[in-house]
């Protein structure tokens, strides 16, 4: 088996997509990440390959799955930071001040399928998503979705239609296209963890602070 630090090096490289990002998250240098990744791959007899900008593993994954479950339990016990994937529009909400006990993702993923896969594999512990389309249904047997907020979406354009002017976007004079939601998605077997409930409460608290500036933002809990 491998240590928390060794498996974290592999899983953070898979999640964050580069060795330097993983090194920054773990507070070490890239050579340390490479050494730990190679050690972990060797123990589980796996191969790491890159496809479509994402890292994937080849080999028999049963033992790795078992150790990931154990290591996720260790994170919820406070032995390592928990891992939160965030969508681009939630980055300003969560970046400052930092969330105690949580390591944030890069906030640049637009795909819905990859974060769900990382949750399923216990590489991630939670996912805050601002796109309510194609999320797991409330009765999904594997995931729980906490709906936190809803806001309307308007068409917007740059005044004068000249990007070089760097003017602020302003809503067009039209009805909202639709209402979008912000949800927290976690594995069903981790939904009652105190850290998950504390995260949910903190995000709702930050939404409350934003409401004077964003009156159309509606909290759902």
Number of structural domains found in the chain:
2
Residue 111 or residue 29, greater confidence? 29
Report residue 90's pLDDT band, with 50, 70 and 90 as the boundaries: confident
Question: Can you give the pLDDT at residue 175?
Answer: 58
Q: In terms of Cα–Cα distance, which of 117, 118, 115 is closest to 183? A: 115
| Whether residues 32 and 93 fall in one domain | no
Question: Can you give the pLDDT at residue 163?
Answer: 35
| Whether residues 75 and 174 fall in one domain | no
Alpha helices (H) in the chain, listed in sequence order: 4-16, 19-26, 30-44, 62-76, 91-95, 113-120, 194-210
Quick one: what percent of the chain has pLDDT higher than 90? 60
- What is the rounded distance in angstroms from the CA atom of residue 221 to the CA atom of residue 219? 6
Question: Can you give the pLDDT at residue 179?
Answer: 64
| Whether residues 58 and 122 fall in one domain | no
| Whether residues 195 and 100 fall in one domain | yes
Sequence-distant (6+) residues with CB within 8 A of 42 are none
121-180 tens-digit pLDDT? 999 999 998 877 667 888 899 999 999 887 765 555 555 473 334 445 555 565 555 567
Question: Can you give the pLDDT at residue 142?
Answer: 95
| Whether residues 116 and 157 fall in one domain | yes
* Average pLDDT taken over every residue of the chain: 86
| Whether residues 97 and 50 fall in one domain | no
Among 63, 79, 95, identify where a domain stops.
79
Sequence-distant (6+) residues with CB within 8 A of 210 are 93, 217
Sequence-distant (6+) residues with CB within 8 A of 68 are 7, 11, 121, 122, 123
| Whether residues 184 and 106 fall in one domain | yes
Tokens representing residue 166 in the block:
């760097």
Among 46, 79, 112, identify where a domain stops.
79
Domain membership of residue 70 as a residue range: 1-79
| Whether residues 159 and 215 fall in one domain | yes
Among 20, 50, 79, identify where a domain stops.
79
Give the domain CATH number at 85. 3.40.190.10
List Cβ<8 Å contacts ≥24 apart for 80-84: 80/4, 80/8, 82/125, 82/126, 82/195, 83/12, 83/15, 83/123, 83/124, 83/125, 83/126, 84/124, 84/125, 84/126, 84/127, 84/128, 84/199
């Amino acid at each position: 088996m491998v240590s928390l630090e060794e498996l974290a090096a592999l899983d953070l490289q898979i999640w964050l997509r580069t060795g330097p990002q993983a090194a920054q998250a773990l507070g070490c240098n890239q050579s340390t990440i490479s050494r730990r990744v190679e050690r972990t791959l060797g123990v589980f007899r796996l191969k790491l390959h890159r496809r479509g900008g994402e890292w994937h593993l080849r080999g028999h994954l049963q033992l790795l799955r078992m150790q990931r479950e154990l290591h996720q339990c260790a994170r919820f016990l406070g032995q390592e930071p928990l891992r939160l994937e965030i969508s681009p529009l939630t980055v300003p909400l969560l970046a400052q001040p930092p969330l105690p006990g949580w390591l944030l993702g890069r906030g640049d993923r637009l795909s819905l399928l990859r974060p769900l896969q990382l949750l399923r594999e216990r590489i991630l512990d939670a996912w805050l998503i601002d796109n309510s389309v194609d999320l797991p249904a409330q009765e999904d047997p594997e995931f729980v979705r906490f709906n936190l907020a809803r806001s309307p979406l308007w068409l917007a354009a740059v005044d004068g239609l000249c990007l070089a002017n760097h003017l602020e976007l302003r809503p067009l004079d039209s009805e909202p296209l639709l209402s979008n939601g912000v949800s927290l998605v976690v594995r069903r077997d981790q939904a009652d963890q105190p850290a998950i409930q504390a995260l949910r409460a903190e995000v709702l608290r930050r939404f409350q602070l934003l409401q004077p500036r964003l009156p159309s933002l509606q909290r759902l809990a």
